[in-house]
Structure formats: C-alpha cells, structure tokens
Amino acid sequence: MKVSVLGSGGWGTALAMLANDCSAETVLWGKFEDEIAFINQTRTTPLLKEVKIPNEILATTDKSQIKGSDIIIIATPSFAVEENAKMLRDEDLADGAVIVSVAKGFEKTTLRRFSQVIAEALPNNKIVVLSGPSHAEEVARKMTTCVVVASDDESAALTVQNALMNENFRIYTNLDVIGVETGAALKNVIAMAAGICDGLGLGDNSIAALITRGISEIGSLGVKMGANVKTFAGLSGLGDLIVTCTSRHSRNRRFGQLLGTGLSVDEALKKVGMTVESYYATESAKKLADKYGVEMPIVNECYNIIYNNGDINDAPVRLMSRSGRNE
Ligand SMILES: NC(=O)c1ccc[n+]([C@@H]2O[C@H](COP(=O)([O-])OP(=O)(O)OC[C@H]3O[C@@H](n4cnc5c(N)ncnc54)[C@H](O)[C@@H]3O)[C@@H](O)[C@H]2O)c1
C-alpha cells in the first residue's frame, strides 16, 4: 500500500506518520522547499512540537514521487485544495488512487463542499472524506482517536478504513458525505463563538449552550443541504464540535478567545499564526444560511463580529434576548 499526503502542515504530517505506522510506503509532499528542507534536516516540524518524524517517510517537493499511490490525502488548507487536485490531474499523478479530503470548510466563492471540488478536478477517482475529533498534535503522539470516513462509494471508504486504522486510530465508515462535510465545516464557526465566550469570561454554561444550540443550527442547515440528521450526533458532528469548542489545541477556539479579550480580527489571525478555517467558514456559513433560508443566530453574530466590525459584547446580549422558543 502506498499513501501520499499533499500538504506538509500539522495535519498532513500527522496523517503521514499514521500511514507509516500502518506500514504503508508513505510520501509527504510539500509545496514549499524551505518547509520540506526543514523536515528533512531535523525530522521535526514547528507545527507539531516535540514530535519526531520517522525517517521512513519520504518528505519531498518532487511531485513525481506521488505517482503510483493507492491513496492520496489532500491535507492542504481549504484555499489550496482545488489547486492541488488540479495539479494531480494535470501532472497525471492520481491514476486509480482513492483521494481523501480532510479540509474543513466550503470553497469560498462557489460554496461547494471539498469532495465536490475534488470530484470536479478528478472525475475518474473515488473520493473519501475523513473527519472527526482529531487534533494533529494528538494523532502525531499516537493518542486515542476515532474518526469517520465518508464516501458515496462504500468500497472506497473501506479501502481507507483498512489502510489507516490501528490500535490508536479507529475509523468508522459512513455513506453520508454531505452530513460529514457540513458538520466539519460549520463546527469551526461554533468553536470560534465558544472562544469568544471564554474570552469574554462568560463561563462553562455558555460553552455548553453553544455546543448544543450550535449542533442544532448545523443540523438544520445540513438537512436542508441533503444530509441525514443522524450524522450530526456522530464523530464528525457532535464529536468534532465538542473537541473544537473545549480543547486548548483548537486554533479556531483560540482565534475567538483572542477576539473576546479585545484583539481585532487581523491581530487575532496574526497571533494564531496558522490556518484559521473559521475565518473563511463564517462567511460561507452565512451565505449558505441565506441561500437555504435557515435561521442561524450564532452564525449571524459571528459574521457580524468578523465581517461587519460588530461590537463583540453585543453578540451574547442579542442571542440571549431572542424571543422564547421550543427546543
Ligand atoms: N490540524 C488539525 O488537527 C486538523 C485536523 C483535521 C483537519 N484539518 C484540516 O486540514 C487542513 C490543513 O490543516 P493544517 O492544520 O495541517 O494546517 P497548517 O496551518 O498546519 O499547515 C498548512 C500547510 O499547508 C501547506 N500549504 C499552504 N498553501 C499550500 C498550497 N498552495 N499548496 C500546497 N500546500 C500548501 C503548507 O505546507 C502549510 O504548512 C485544513 O483544511 C484543516 O481544516 C486539520
């Protein structure tokens, strides 16, 4: 089994280490010479502190090394997924490979899910989405993790399950690609809101309320988009939402926390210093809520803070003074 990972950031590197642990011949392809040179010189990455990258993993910028892979994981930030899927097609590198998408978000201008973006670039390949509560920092340290792989094609999901599951990393299969992807994309917005509550000092009750009302919002939109409501109670829905809203590893939560303590959007993005998918996902979520006519009060408040320079202190007040509802 040969597995190639595109994107040498935290998640790409952790997934390459998992593939290597599962005895696959593993290629970690990165676009940037300096990043790959650093990995090769030190067998570490600043994105995964105190983690040693095994020598068996081939870290390279040479695209030709990807050829012949059984599985290709696209683990770049969401803005670079289309570019990299097209690179695989244009360089004729993906022949017969199952393509795994791990980006969490929607394509910014067209609001497509990333499995759709990849399928359009690579129409002859089977596409699988991998998602769930899986911080790279913990997966790289072989800490207990459960995720889901979703595909319209069950055999493709089983291929990934068989290739990447081990005693530390348990994989469930699911046929609801829309549900898995919408849960993954939207949870980052709620996590940012949880960070804001934390930054404002609103307490644990507010975080629990955000998680549960957040999954309700996510589910309402997801079902309108064609998802199965049950998926939102699973690993890629509630599971990922809980970890992102509560974990110190979550950069989306951290982004919100920094906003809550008074930093501007630009200052908070700069301070986090890594990909903050919630920044993009908030705009997409707002557009999708409008498009499908779904009421998403938490998303609306996040959008107002990030894109309309809204006063952060007004958001919880507005959410709490909405008219009474049934749960
Ligand atoms: N970090 C996690 O725990 C985690 C877990 C699940 C999913 N994800 C998803 O994985 C994706 C990558 O996240 P990450 O945490 O590895 O990000 P990161 O910020 O750690 O790394 C981003 C990396 O992407 C690469 N990159 C940037 N532009 C590129 C381009 N144009 N082409 C190729 N590579 C490019 C660079 O090598 C950079 O190091 C995101 O969509 C994220 O939502 C991350």
Average pLDDT rounded to a whole number, residues 78-97: 96
255 C-alpha to ligand 1 centroid (Å): 16
Q: Token pair of 79, please?
A: 């803005």
Q: Was domain 185-320 assigned CATH 1.10.1040.10?
A: yes
Q: Which residue's CA is the nearest one to ligand 1's atom 22?
A: 9
Give the model's pLDDT for residue 251: 92
Mutate to test the pocket of ligand 1, among 4, 6, 11 (most ligand atoms within 8 A of CB): 11
Q: Does the domain made of 2-175 have the CATH classification 3.40.50.1970?
A: no
Cα(275) to ligand 1 centroid in Å equals 7
- Percentage, residues of the chain above pLDDT 70: 100
Q: How confident is the model at residue 185 (pLDDT cuts 50, 70, 90)?
A: very high
Please give the mean pLDDT across all residues of the chain: 96
Same fold, 2-175 and 185-320: no
Task: Answer whether 0.85 is exceeded by the pTM.
Answer: yes
Pocket of ligand 1 (CB under 6 A): 7-12, 30-32, 35, 47, 75-78, 80, 83-84, 102-104, 134-136, 274-275, 277
Candidates 248, 253, 275, 284: which one to mutate for ligand 1, based on the most atoms within 8 Å of Cβ? 275
Cα(102) to centroid(ligand 1), Å: 9
10-47 burial: b if 16+ Cβ within 10 Å, else e? bbbbbbbbbbbbbebbbbbbbbeeebbebbeeeeebeb
List the domain boundaries for the chain. Answer: 2-175, 185-320
Least confident stretch, 14-18, 57-61, 107-111, 258-262: 107-111
| Catalytic site includes residue 187 | yes
Give per-residue pLDDT as tens, 231-287: 999 999 999 999 999 988 899 999 999 999 999 999 999 999 888 989 999 999 999
**90 has pLDDT over 90:** yes
Q: What is the pLDDT of residue 275?
A: 81
Going from the Cα of 114 to the center of ligand 1, the distance in angstroms, rounded, reads 14
pLDDT of residue 307: 96
Q: What pLDDT is recorded for position 249?
A: 83
pLDDT at 114: 97
Report which protein residue has its CA nearest ligand 1's atom 42: 103
Model confidence over 64-87: pLDDT tens digits? 999 999 999 999 998 999 999 999
